[in-house]
Amino acid sequence: MEMTIELVFRPLIAGLLGAIIGLDRAYRAKEAGFRTHFLVCLGSALFMVVSQYGFSDVLQEGITRFDPGRIAAQVVSGIGFIGAGTIIIHRQFVRGLTTAAGLWATSGIGLAIGGGLYWLGIAATAFTLLGLELLTILFKKTGIHSCSIKFSTGIYENIAKTTEMIRQQEGRITSYEAEERTIGNDKRYYVSIIIRYNSPKEEFNIYQYLQQLPDLFIEKIE
């Protein structure tokens, strides 16, 4: 009876640990948040418990040989499909890699808890959160950042001024698209630029500069 209760609690504990990681990702508005991490960790623990104890009756007969790690091993392959769904490639700009890696790590935590390695799972959860927070702070100070800017303007010279200002801020344009649209007798230019830069201050400077240009509407900066 005690063993049964413990097996029931393993997926629950795993789900709670996954939810803690999910809260961090949801707070940062990432593709996979609270519910996804909760389910991934709970499901991984459940598969581990089933692989360890779900076939005990068959194994006791001594007729069949079974590797309890086979079902758990397939969890890793399954997480690959889920992780791929969080990765977005848009005009040479890749997003979601950290979220995909986080799901992979969350699955590992679930497998550890499902296998009864509670302290290992708890420690891995702490290490994951610590790594995410410390690396975020570190990259804000010293890392390379990216942002996507979309704006429209009726003055063609504004485009040249914007690109020149980005270069002055030591930013690197990795993707650039401009489309000309004619509405009645007026021409308007719709521009999409992806920039890499070294400091968040540069993004703020670019935003301020765009606001000062005449006849320019900022559609999105992310």
Task: Give the domain ranges of the chain.
Answer: 2-142, 145-221
Q: Is pLDDT at 1 greater than 80 in this prediction?
A: no
Look at residue 219 and tell me whether its pLDDT is greater than 80. no
Whether the per-residue pLDDT at 59 is higher than 60: the answer is no
pLDDT at 17: 92
Asked if pLDDT for residue 64 goes beyond 60, the answer is no
Q: Contact, 222 vs 147, CB < 8 A? A: yes
CATH number of 145-221: 3.30.70.60
Say which residue the tokens 């649209």 belong to.
181
Q: 89-106 burial, b for 16+ CB within 10 Å, e for fewer? A: eeeeeebbebbbebbebb
pLDDT score, position 153: 83
**Which tokens go with 29?**
């508005």
**What stretches of 54-196 show up as alpha helix (H) in DSSP?**
56-60, 69-86, 97-114, 118-142, 157-168
Q: At what angle do helices 97-114 and 2-27 cross, to 10 degrees?
A: 170
| H helix and E strand count, the chain | 8, 6
- 195 forms bridges with which residues in the sheet? 147, 173
Contact partners, residue 144, CB within 8 Å, separation at least 6:
196, 197, 198
The pTM score is 0.61
61, 63, 69, 73: CA torsion to nearest 10: -130
Stretch 11-36: mean pLDDT, rounded? 82
* Predicted pLDDT at 158: 81
pLDDT at 92 over 60: no
Of all residues in the chain, the percent with pLDDT exceeding 90 is 12
Using the predicted structure, report yes or no on whether residue 152 has a pLDDT greater than 80: yes
How sure is the predictor about 216, in pLDDT bands with cuts at 50, 70 and 90? confident
Q: What is the pLDDT of residue 88?
A: 62
CB 4 within 8 A of CB 108: no
Structure tokens of 69?
């790690």
Top mean pLDDT of 29-43, 77-91, 108-122, 175-189 is at 108-122
Say what the pLDDT of residue 42 is. 92
Given a cut of 60, whether residue 93 has pLDDT beyond it is no
